[in-house]
Amino acid sequence: MIQEISTRLLKQLEEDLEHTCFQIKDPFQRWTTALKLIREALKRLRTHFSDLKFKDKEEEIPIFKVIKPSFYQWQIYYTELYNIETNLPYGDAEKQTAFLEQELFYIERFFRQYAFLYQYYKLNATELDNLYFVRGAEMQSILLPEVPDLDPEFSTSCDYLFSKFKAFEVLKDWVLERLLHLKKKNIDPQALSGNLQVREMNWTGDTIDLAEVGLGLYHTGKLNNGTAGLGEIFRWLEEKFNVNIGIPAKRFAELRKRKRLSRTRYLNEMRDSLNLKMENEDEYVPTGKKKPNSALNDDD
């Protein structure tokens, strides 16, 4: 029950956060709006959690190892992102690069500082779950960081740390993409040829389909000689097609959850449609007759 409820709440929260990021450009307003959404979602999760009666520790562990960190990570992420955006030097690419490299060093240092627990998190280990993710478990260790005042009824020794691991991984991607953008040089502006007026194009399909396209472009390295970042590609597609695709890591996770044979459903559909068109064009046509609706004619 809690898994279904939390999945629904998290999906709604992340959709609301994506909409907020797309609509609000002012860092402070975006941060405060995001925090309001996150805290409300955590409050609702906390309410549902209070109604549960656990049979054993095995039912309690996933709440604090996976579910709560999936929500709380966004509070940490948006707070850290706000601090970076508001302290980023303006107008000087070299100073911005130096600043972001320092932020990247801070993130990597955090992972090294808690290397044992970070590896435990990355490997999805389970041996110490009874200590890390059960309320009231005695856990005194120099390996654990100082954490904010926690609600003992809705917190364990390591749920905050796992939330921070998740948040910092997303933040690291943001910093790397921004650094890549700053370090690009000699980018020629696009030149328009001819006087053809192209009307505005809007994406009218599911956004997950466009996410497939963006991921495909990124992993095949066909944009800017492979230097275009994934987040940069997503923002470019959003701008060109007037749509909000969302956070790259989350859309990739959605694709991974699909059945193995249909993970790239839209790309497969594109391939099949194009192949079908070419096969139809290759069909035998009696002499002297033209195939109707041909995509290419000899006169083209």
Q: What is the pLDDT of residue 226?
A: 77
Q: Compute the distance between CA of residue 254 and CA of residue 277 in angstroms, rounded to an integer.
A: 30
Cα separation of 99 and 85, whole Å? 11
Q: In the predicted model, what is the mean pLDDT of residues 110-122?
A: 91
Over 50: is that where the pLDDT of 39 sits?
A: yes
Reading phi first (left if > 0) and then psi (alpha if -120 to 50, else beta), residue 136 is in left
Distance of CA 87 to the CA centre of its chain: 23
Residues of the chain above pLDDT 70, percent: 80
Give residue 112's pLDDT band: very low, low, confident or very high (50, 70, 90): very high
pLDDT at 101 over 80: yes
Top pLDDT among 225 and 201 is at 201
pTM equals 0.62
Nearest by Cα to 104 from 202, 193, 180, 45: 180
The token duo for 142 is 């120099």
- Domain positions in the chain are 2-183, 207-279
Q: What is the pLDDT of residue 133?
A: 85
Mean pLDDT of the chain: 80
60-69, 238-247, 272-281: range with lowest mean pLDDT: 272-281
Residue 90: per-residue pLDDT: 80
| 292, pLDDT greater than 60 | no
- Does 207 have pLDDT greater than 60? yes
Q: Tell me, what's the pLDDT at 222?
A: 81
Phi, psi dihedral angles at 51 (to 5 degrees): -85, -5
pLDDT 10s digits, 185-202: 433 333 223 343 456 788
For residue 34, pLDDT over 90 is answered with yes
Query: What pLDDT does 144 receive?
Result: 61
Give CA–CA dist 7/3, Å, rounded: 6
- The more confident residue out of 46 and 77 is 77
Confidence of residue 263 (pLDDT cuts 50, 70, 90): confident
State how far the Cα of 285 lies from the Cα of 282, in Å rounded to an integer: 9
More confident residue, 188 or 44: 44
What's the pLDDT tens digit per position in 133-187?
887 666 555 456 566 656 667 778 788 999 999 999 999 999 998 888 887 643 3
Least trusted range by pLDDT, from 7-21, 112-126, 134-148 = 134-148
Residue that wins the pLDDT comparison between 52 and 63: 63
pLDDT, greater one: 222 or 148: 222
